[in-house]
Amino acid sequence: MPRHYRIVSLPGEGIGPEVVDATLAVLQQVAQLHSFTVAVEYGWLGQPAVQRFGRAFPQETARQCEGCDGIVLGAVTQGLLEIRQHFNLFINLRPVRPTPCLFPASALKSERLAGVDILFVRELASGIYFGESGRGNDSGSGYGYHTMRYADAEIRRIAKAALNQAQQRRHKLTVAHKENALPQIPWTALVHEEARDFPNILVEPMLADNLAMQLILKPQQFDVVLAGNLFGDILSDIGGALTGSIGLLGSASLNGQGFGLYEPIHGTAPDIAGKGIANPLGAIASIVLMLQQWGETTAAQQILDTQETLLSQGYCTADLCSQRSQTQVTTQEFTDLFLENLRQNNS
């Protein structure tokens, strides 16, 4: 049976278009090698959408994305929360697996990194990002507020998603919470209740501040880490310090039916945009998650193997280059090496 997929690419701003270009080239190459096709439509999100349609997430983009097999996003400075909410993308998966050939690029000692393999499951469609907010004036003094609100049902559904992930991994779920200061949102109790259906999973609640420290001191202790929207954002960036660069990390943002948006966890990186030096591997890691979601697991594995080969041969972009033995390459050069390696290993 021929497999045909349709995706919408939203390159966005800054280094977004640079890393998305590289990623789509890799995607088309593996598609060809593994006998499936991917039709790509380009759409608008963020600043380019504001310029064209007057809104960061226009209706045109929403319509274009409806019914597609995946959205591939670069990075934007606005419009992101709207698209996540529109498609109810409440499950955000952020894998962090430092590779030994990049241990020297990490902020941590190698012995703390061996075997680290963490999956952050971040709640993405609720919490303080979407609570009531505003500004007011109290006796002449201005004030602002954002409200953290979670429906129990919203916690239960992300807990189930995280428990399902832990079931397929090493059966441990650490729950980030801050119930010593924010007791009205009972992450711990609700996750424990959902975990009754998963008796073989060890659920370990951990205060979010301690969790941040533990990720640096002893990252090997973690398997799946579940966190609300804000804590998940902050904690998962620590993955950049563990792996050596935030430019390596990808993510999948899914709704309850498996529809997804695939994006690196980094931003538009204005400090390096336009220089041709951005690391495309975070965006590439995101399409690996997309291929896995589609069931194209051999294609996904080939991308992971190719990444490992190139990095172990010492090729890397500037963000990872810390050793004499490494060869610093541009985004384009890294992409060309990637494509060549994919072809060679398939012939």
Active site residue 109: no
Indicate the residue among 18 and 233 with the shorter CB distance to Mg ion: 233
Q: 144, 149, 145: which is closest to 125 by C-alpha? A: 149
Indicate the residue among 194 and 263 with the shorter CB distance to ligand NAD: 263
Q: 96, 56, 77: which is closest to 250 by C-alpha? A: 96
Residue window 74-93: x/- pattern of binding to ligand NAD, with contact defined by CB under 6 A? -xxx--x-------------
Phi-psi region of 242 (alpha: psi -120 to 50; beta: other; left: phi over 0): alpha
Check: CB of residue 255 under 8 Å from CB of residue 113.
no
Contacting residue, 139, 168, 271, 347, with ligand NAD by CB under 6 A:
271
Q: Does 233 bind ligand IPM (CB under 6 A)?
A: yes
Residue window 301-340: x/- pattern of binding to ligand NAD, with contact defined by CB under 6 A? ------------------x---------------------
Q: How far is the CB of 218 from ligand NAD (least distance, A)?
A: 25
Contacting residue, 89, 191, 265, 272, with ligand IPM by CB under 6 A:
265
Active site residue 145: no
Q: 178 to each of 46, 84, 208, 211, how far by Cα in Å? A: 32, 24, 6, 10
Q: 340 to each of 175, 334, 347, how far by Cα in Å? A: 42, 10, 11
Question: Which of 145, 209, 218, 305 does the annotation list as catalytic?
Answer: 209
Q: What is the DSSP letter of 77?
A: S
Check: CB of residue 156 under 8 Å from CB of residue 196.
no
E-assigned strands of 28-69? 36-42
Residue window 222-241: x/- pattern of binding to Mg ion, with contact defined by CB under 5 A? -----------x--------
Q: Does 80 bind ligand IPM (CB under 6 A)?
A: yes
What gap in Å lies between CA 338 and CA 33, rounded to an integer? 14
Per CB under 6 A, residues contacting ligand IPM are 80, 233, 265, 267
Binding site for ligand NAD (CB under 6 A): 15, 19, 75-77, 80, 245-247, 263, 266-272, 278-279, 282, 319
Q: Which residues are catalytic?
A: 129, 178, 209, 233, 237
